[in-house]
Amino acid sequence: MSRQEKVTISVIKADIGSLAGHHKVHPDTILAASRVLADAKKKGTIKSFYITHAGDDLQLIMTHYKGVDNPEIHELAWKAFQEATKVAKELGLYAAGQDLLSDAFSGNIRGMGPGVAEMEFVERPSEPVVIFMADKTEPGAFNLPLFKIFADPFNTAGLVIDPRMHDGYIYEILDVYEGMVVEMKAPEEMYDILALIGTPARYIIKRIYRKSDREIAAVVSSERLSLIAGRYVGKDDPVMIVRAQSGFPAVGEILEAFSFPHLVAGWMRGSHHGPLMPVGLRDSKVTRFDGPPRVIGLGFQIKNGELIGPADLFDDPAFDETRRLAQVITDYMRRHGPFMPHRLGPEEMEYTTLPQVLEKLKTRFKPFELGYKPVVKAEGSEEVHD
């Protein structure tokens, strides 16, 4: 590899069927996908790979020199998921092929169901990256930790004391309802950034760049399955790549942002709020109410395009209190049963199976004299009051 040649890391995931409901990936499906990627490595299509799972999602981590959105790499991932799906169907696994929303590959895996996070860069002498994989939640679940990692000096000391980070970062924020994107700078536009990303179902942090040189720092999968299919077909279960150290936040600063198990949307039937619990690979399975939502973090070094590792970063007693608090929050939220705020709000419930239930009740509603005419404001027409 020449000094300036860019290496690409691609993390592509899909729910292709799981053991005992939405619980965990069966090892035989991992083996099926491994055969596909091993053959691709032998042929030189990819440089290296690592396959794992987060709950019921099969995770493909690959390095190569073909850039992002490369049709050959995306078709390779599609083939791996198809082979894993065949095994899932043979074993009678639950929801086999759930995230494969198309019958045939069409040049780019984005928009076909699987989640994709990719970035390319020129390797530093030491290139540590952290790959996060979440289960039973949506891409916006990473909004809060990404804000803390790259914009909150109370989380990331380097923003104050490291001159290579002191200028801040650029946030690329995606409106998944409108298919629009905006770039905003931190710390200058911090409050405007928060105004958007505080609505994580709609506004998702897609990429983050270092402001001083626009070097890529982080990328998140942004696929919303319900918006692709027009109905609920499972949670999005996002993945994220974050570069660390030497001009980026330290690994410890990155992980610190997950020490608070904040509430995210997803959980059972994609219809509930629950705490995001950081866990090690051995606990990457969901049980209680199909949850609570989990996130695993794997640390790698990349050297000459090779993946070195991983380190199972959340498999550490330092996060025991975070997990304990997540359990307390789980108890509290679960006791709300079908009531908000445990259950999602009406906008998000539109993409679940609840509308089918409500449709049966439409003809039973009768006019009622309120004594006033309700004022229902259109989006964007809200009045501002002190």
Tell me the catalytic residues: 15, 232, 235
Return the structure tokens found at 312.
Answer: 């199972």
Query: Tokens for 68?
Result: 């992002």
Amino acid at site 315? D
- Is the separation of the CB atoms in 120 and 8 below 8 Å? yes
| Cα dihedral value 40, 44, 46, 52, nearest 10 | 40
| Residues β-bridged to residue 24 | 19
Strands 203-210 and 216-220: antiparallel
DSSP structural state of residue 345: P
Sequence-distant (6+) residues with CB within 8 A of 121 are 6, 7, 127, 215, 216, 243
Helix orientation angle between 143-151 and 190-197, rounded to the nearest 10 degrees: 170
Using omega within 30 degrees of 0 as the cis cutoff, is the peptide bond preceding 71 cis?
no
297 bridge partner residues: 132
Q: Which residues pair with 302 in a beta bridge?
A: 307
Which 3-state string (H, E, C) describes 145-210?
HHHHHHHCCCCCCHHHHCCCCCCCEEEEEEECCCCEEEEEEECCCHHHHHHHHCCCCCEEEEEEEE
Rounded to an integer, what distance in angstroms lies between the CA atom of residue 138 and that of residue 127? 28
In which region does residue 356 sit, left (phi positive, over 0), alpha (psi from -120 to 50) or beta (all else)?
alpha
- Of the candidates 285, 240, 286, 292, the one whose C-alpha atom is nearest the C-alpha of residue 266 is 292
